[in-house]
Amino acid sequence: MNKSSGERMPQVKAKWRALVPTLVLLAAAHAHAAPEALPRHGVVMFSNLCVGERSGDLHGLRITLRRIGDVDDLMFELENEPPQRIWPVRVEGDKLSFTIPKPYSGAAVVARLLRHGETLQLDGPVVNADSKDQIELRRITNFARGLPNC
């Protein structure tokens, strides 16, 4: 080892000693930060759809939030009806705001993420304009699993 590298070693060690507490604090803050409930980009599905054992009909609701680029929209699927695209969707933290299309209620609905994003709770007239619905949909993560029986 030459003399110049030997003289630099204490300086390098001192810099690292000063840097380590900062890195530890940053890592601890990141570990305790609240998990992001919704990714900024991608697709997230919430559903309570089930299949009638005897009839084979679908019952329930499925909402698929699509976050692509700067556009947020969702697909609204109610029972055996064809899916409806809803746009615009406003996402603010753990709240989603959107208007249910006609022929359903045609009203504004607020949905809230619960349980760290594992449940979406819809409040407002979802099915028809006169209803005061409160519907909870669980987040779907296993797309290979079939729909449960009702």
77 and 26 co-located in one domain: no
- Residue 33, both tokens: 């930060």
Q: Residue 144: what pLDDT?
A: 95
Q: What is the count of structural domains for the chain?
A: 2
Q: Is residue 24 part of a domain?
A: yes
Task: Identify the burial level of 107 via C-beta atoms within 10 angstroms of its C-beta, where 0-12 means exposed, 13-18 middle and 19 or more buried.
Answer: middle
Q: Whole domain around residue 67: which residue ranges?
A: 42-140
3 lies in the same domain as 27 = yes
Give yes or no: residues 72 and 126 share one domain. yes
Q: Are residues 22 and 57 in the same domain?
A: no
Is position 149 within any domain?
Answer: no
Q: Among positive and negative, which fits the CA dihedral 81, 53, 140, 43?
A: negative
* Shared domain check, 96 and 23: no
Q: What three-state secondary structure class fits 2?
A: coil
Q: Quick one: pLDDT at residue 31?
A: 39
Does 53 lie in the same domain as 126? yes
If asked whether residues 6 and 68 sit together in one domain, one would say no
- Cβ neighbours around 110 below 10 Å, total: 13
Task: Give yes or no for a contact between 137 and 120, defined as CB atoms under 8 angstroms apart.
Answer: yes
* Same domain as 122, residue 92: yes
pLDDT in tens, the chain (150 residues): 555 555 665 665 665 565 445 444 444 444 334 446 788 899 999 999 999 999 999 999 999 999 998 899 999 999 989 999 999 999 999 999 999 988 888 899 999 999 999 999 999 899 888 888 899 999 999 999 999 999
For 133, list phi and psi in degrees, rounded to 5.
-85, 150
φ and ψ of 41, to 5 deg: -130, 140
Can you give the pTM of this predicted structure?
A: 0.73
Residue 134 lies in a domain: yes
